[in-house]
Chain A
């Protein structure tokens, strides 16, 4: 009777079998492909180091991801904070206004930005009518376009963990601070902000990890200067049919993501990352 629940653990087996075949095996094969051609070789990795294009793509990827994370935090933190302070009815509306774009196809949203940010798009037209600019500004196929598109897609991934942590903060702590004479901004900076930091960390790492592997938005809204690891993999595989090198770049990308993922889960616990905590 002591182990009455142990058999339930067997229920993970079907999923494990499918994962082994369709996930673990293909990913390990990528590692193997990157060092065979067909003889064992390190030429793919030598090429990776020798040509500065790849280091630049990696730097590009990290740079884009960094700024996307910063912007998402800047936009998401106030919104998550607002959601913890409004009435239940207002919160439902705010949540709905975040969830509908969140579940709308990424393709649709990226396409929408092409329409909005184009030279004849509504942003340029408005700015010209207002007399702020004389000629259309280039907002597409450059860093600005990629940033706007990616922040739009990833912002909810910042808001959800932030909101999750903020709702756990006991409002009595803030009231105590206020009653001891702290002005509202001081109570916020010294009590609320530090307590919300786990949410900030979870949101930032989640957004950064997802941004690093992003393909659709950079491919549609970026220009030749915004080559990221993901778009580079696609080019190597689809255009140049260089599968071995595509595999090598994939190993690099997964390695970067996995390293960050492991560090994060070790430091903060998986519950916060996936939102599976008891809340």
Chain B
């Protein structure tokens, strides 16, 4: 029945093209990063690792990467703690304002980051905090916490609340119950949430540009500045490394989720 098969083939072809559209930019950057010519070329005429060498040899890029890493680690800890507690409060707690609270706590996800950047600048400039790693940590925490809340709250809604009820009826205090029953139950989701919080901070550009100033330059901020003036082929190597970092973190989060499904 070729006539019945035809729509199916067309659907696969169309979706194949959509997938190519999604994946092509990443493939192009990865291939271009091994380019051997002194300027950006695709497809490359010769191959080398010169752009990776240049990235690791340059103190400018290296220091930016180090700052990004430091900021992202602090943001991961802060937003995972805040977000996990808030998610437990939202899902397990009883309050009349739950729907409104949840709406408020996830709303930073849709507020344009540029607006938050301007607002935080007004807040932090008088305190002389702009241009510091602290400013970046504060800004990124507000962007990362809602992601943690969404992921952990979803896991809590699927988990079994009666275990906590049992713990309470056996005499555990509410805090001990949270600490030893609720949190371990959703530990894989918390791990996944932490991974996404890390990535969110590590890749964030707009807040970094506005709040970083000349003294606190993260890797994305340095890339952004470089992109706006000239196309430096070193960017392809850095982009490839960032993609590798993202893929590894994504895979780790996925494994954590799978562990959750098994438990």
A residues sitting closer than 8 Å to B (CB atoms) are 3-16, 18-19, 22-23, 25-27, 29-30, 33, 75-76, 78-79, 81-82, 94, 97-101, 103-109, 111-116, 121-122, 152, 155, 184-185, 206, 209-210, 212-216, 220, 230, 233-234, 237-238, 243, 246-247, 250, 253-254, 257-258, 261, 265, 270, 274-276, 278-279
Per-residue CB proximity of B133-162 to A under 8 Å, as 1/0? Answer: 000001101100100011001100110000
Please tell me if the beta carbons of A26 and B86 are within 8 angstroms of each other in the complex: no
Please tell me if the beta carbons of B157 and A276 are within 8 angstroms of each other in the complex: yes
Please tell me if the beta carbons of A237 and B92 are within 8 angstroms of each other in the complex: no
Complex interface: chain B residues within 8 A of A15 (CB):
82-83, 85-86, 89, 105, 145, 149
Nearest Cβ on chain B to A220's Cβ, whole angstroms: 6
Q: Which residue of A lies closest to B17 (CB)?
A: A75
Q: Which residue of A lies closest to B153 (CB)?
A: A276
Known: A11-B86, A113-B25. A107 touches B205 (CB 8 A): yes
The reply to whether the CB of B197 lies closer than 8 angstroms to some CB of chain A is no
Nearest Cβ on chain B to A74's Cβ, whole angstroms: 9
Nearest Cβ on chain A to B79's Cβ, whole angstroms: 9
Please tell me if the beta carbons of A82 and B11 are within 8 angstroms of each other in the complex: yes
- Determine which residue in A7, A75, A254 has the highest number of CB atoms from chain B within 10 A of its CB, and name it: A7
Please tell me if the beta carbons of B142 and A23 are within 8 angstroms of each other in the complex: yes
The reply to whether the CB of B71 lies closer than 8 angstroms to some CB of chain A is no
The reply to whether the CB of B58 lies closer than 8 angstroms to some CB of chain A is no
The reply to whether the CB of B50 lies closer than 8 angstroms to some CB of chain A is no
Complex interface: chain B residues within 8 A of A257 (CB):
110-112
Known: A8-B178, A23-B116, A111-B239. A220 touches B141 (CB 8 A): no
Please measure, in the bound complex, the distance between the C-alpha atom of A220 and the C-alpha atom of B227, giving whole angstroms.
Answer: 8
The reply to whether the CB of B114 lies closer than 8 angstroms to some CB of chain A is yes
Complex interface: chain B residues within 8 A of A279 (CB):
154
The reply to whether the CB of B122 lies closer than 8 angstroms to some CB of chain A is yes
The reply to whether the CB of B170 lies closer than 8 angstroms to some CB of chain A is no
- Determine which residue in B4, B14, B83 has the highest number of CB atoms from chain A within 10 A of its CB, and name it: B14
- Which of A81, A243, A254 has a CB less than 8 Å from the CB of B122? A243
Per-residue CB proximity of B222-253 to A under 8 Å, as 1/0? Answer: 01100110010001100100110011011000
Please tell me if the beta carbons of B105 and A11 are within 8 angstroms of each other in the complex: no
The reply to whether the CB of B199 lies closer than 8 angstroms to some CB of chain A is yes
Known: A82-B15, A257-B110, A276-B157. A184 touches B7 (CB 8 A): yes
- Which of B89, B107, B174, B242 has a CB less than 8 Å from the CB of A108? B242
Please tell me if the beta carbons of A97 and B231 are within 8 angstroms of each other in the complex: no
Please measure, in the bound complex, the distance between the C-alpha atom of A100 and the C-alpha atom of B141, giving whole angstroms.
Answer: 23
Please tell me if the beta carbons of B105 and A253 are within 8 angstroms of each other in the complex: no
The reply to whether the CB of B93 lies closer than 8 angstroms to some CB of chain A is yes
- Determine which residue in A103, A113, A258 has the highest number of CB atoms from chain B within 10 A of its CB, and name it: A103
Please tell me if the beta carbons of A230 and B114 are within 8 angstroms of each other in the complex: yes
Please measure, in the bound complex, the distance between the C-alpha atom of A139 and the C-alpha atom of B48, giving whole angstroms.
Answer: 29
Q: Which residue of B lies closest to A6 (CB)?
A: B94
Please tell me if the beta carbons of B94 and A254 are within 8 angstroms of each other in the complex: no
Please tell me if the beta carbons of A97 and B22 are within 8 angstroms of each other in the complex: yes
Please measure, in the bound complex, the distance between the C-alpha atom of A209 and the C-alpha atom of B98, giving whole angstroms.
Answer: 24
Please tell me if the beta carbons of A215 and B206 are within 8 angstroms of each other in the complex: yes
Known: A6-B94, A15-B86, A105-B242. A81 touches B111 (CB 8 A): no
Known: A107-B224, A184-B4. A6 touches B112 (CB 8 A): no
The reply to whether the CB of B12 lies closer than 8 angstroms to some CB of chain A is yes
Complex interface: chain A residues within 8 A of B14 (CB):
78
Please tell me if the beta carbons of A112 and B43 are within 8 angstroms of each other in the complex: no
Please tell me if the beta carbons of B25 and A152 are within 8 angstroms of each other in the complex: yes
Complex interface: chain B residues within 8 A of A18 (CB):
82, 141-142, 145
Please measure, in the bound complex, the distance between the C-alpha atom of A255 and the C-alpha atom of B107, giving whole angstroms.
Answer: 13
Please measure, in the bound complex, the distance between the C-alpha atom of A97 and the C-alpha atom of B86, giving whole angstroms.
Answer: 32
Please tell me if the beta carbons of A230 and B112 are within 8 angstroms of each other in the complex: yes
Please tell me if the beta carbons of B112 and A27 are within 8 angstroms of each other in the complex: no
Nearest Cβ on chain B to A1's Cβ, whole angstroms: 9
Please tell me if the beta carbons of B113 and A215 are within 8 angstroms of each other in the complex: yes
Complex interface: chain A residues within 8 A of B25 (CB):
101, 109, 112-113, 116, 152
- Which of B23, B40, B93, B145 has a CB less than 8 Å from the CB of A6? B93
Known: A94-B19, A107-B205, A265-B103. A213 touches B115 (CB 8 A): yes
